[in-house]
Copies of this chain bind each other. A is one copy, B any other.
């Protein structure tokens, strides 16, 4: 085949499909027959995911889920899988959003004929995840532990400012922070008590 053939097959190998295999235990948290009526119920699931991720040692102390806003139906769940899967993009929110989009069969959760969607996350989204939430078409972001809590435990949240939230609000994405904050902080505490160290920085 000569050089060109070799190069091409190298390139093909480099760009072979990328498969993200989620921890098997996550499936048990994805009970799509349950309705999560209130923000607190939805947040409790996100917190349960964040704690379970620590206990199972599958990643950082962060959990997230996507719900249909009005019906409260669960659409997807996610946890931080950065270290275990060797992929710095796989924050809990990104995992939940990617799975939600696969479930609805579209790159947007904000289509005109769709129910509205909420992203519920155990901690204020970092800069990457705030952007990811905006592009996903969710209409609300509900967060538990706050940026200051994450920073106090050594996690960097990236360039997120008050103006960032206003930017999302202007584009029709409501942001509700501090829901069950103390319970959500507990997962960060649990992670530290088990010897977990922030993997950034």
Contact = CB atoms under 8 A, between A and B. Distances in A.
A27 interface: yes
Q: How many copies does the complex hold?
A: 2
Nearest to A16: B22
Contact of A88 (B32, B83, B108, B129): B108
Interface residues of A, number: 70
A81 to B, nearest CB: 9
A132 B102 CA distance: 21
A194 interface: no
A113 interface: no
Contacts of A10: 30-33
Contacts of A7: 31-33
Contacts of A130: 127-128, 131, 158-159
Contact of A31 (B11, B132, B158): B11
Given A127-B130, A158-B134, A17 B22 contact: yes
Interface in A1-27: 3, 7-22, 24, 26-27
A137 to B, nearest CB: 7
Contacts of A167: 158-159
Contacts of A33: 3, 7, 10
A190 interface: no
A86 B60 CA distance: 27
Contact of A19 (B11, B17, B161): B17
A39 interface: no
Contacts of A14: 27, 30, 32, 76-77, 99, 103
Given A10-B32, A15-B99, A161 B161 contact: yes
A105 interface: yes
A121 interface: no
A102 B129 contact: no
A83 B111 CA distance: 13
Interface in A97-118: 97-99, 101-103, 105-108
